[in-house]
Amino acid sequence: MNGLAKIAVAAPGSAEVQAAVLIADDHPLFRDALAQIVGSTLPHARVVECGTIQDAQEALARQDFELVLLDVNMPGMNGMAGLLALRNSAPATPVVIVSGREDRETVDQAMGCGAAGFIPKSLSRDGMRDALRAVLAGEISLPQEAPQDRHEAVATLSSQQRRVLEMISAGKANKIIAYELSISESTVKAHVTAILRKLNLRSRIQAALYATRQS
């Protein structure tokens, strides 16, 4: 779980789901397409669209949202500044990046800055709908990568990520890892997410087994 409160996806004949979703993207056509995908996934959700980070911040100040979908490259913002700005405006509101960039560095930066997930714009409509369902269910949705040699992938881990991997293999919970490394639990979760992605693993159990075999 990534701290995102679960939002039930409405099924035919079910009760209405009163969820508010904020879409922040400077491309009107993509905002419209994404709003349609949100609408088909959450038929009773209220969608608010913004074309700038400033408008998104004002929207967050006016009301609470269950989810924010943010383009990483917004006008007037460099790198992850937009994500950090929205996280500062509403720390409890999960922000999922929806971006045309899906390289490992960008994804890792986003997760390290507190993103609740990362959805590539290259996904098909059905793929984006599946990714949206995953984040609405409280899961972390990340781009798929082709499998790579894990021995080479380990070399891409930072020193702290390697330490986290060692502690995972020792069976330590995130809270304990955070305490022993003097970092926040959310930072530990971001490291775990980056480790799983870099090593092409699906769970911390797989990561623990892999690290144990390599020790």
Stretches in the chain below the pLDDT threshold 70: 1-18, 76, 78, 144-150, 215
Nearest alpha-carbon partner for 50 in 78, 15, 77, 13 = 77
pLDDT score, position 18? 63
**Does 3 map to a domain?**
no
Number of domains in the chain: 2
169: containing domain: 150-214
pLDDT score, position 209? 77
Same domain for 62 and 109?
yes
Same domain for 77 and 154?
no
Q: What is the pTM of this model?
A: 0.63
pLDDT score, position 14? 41
Residue with tokens 């986003």: 110
Backbone angles phi, psi at 179, to 5 degrees: -65, -45
pLDDT score, position 215? 62
Q: Please give the Cα distance from 174 to 187 (Å, whole number).
A: 9
Same domain for 89 and 124?
yes
pLDDT tens, 120-140?
A: 888 888 888 888 887 777 777
Same domain for 58 and 116?
yes
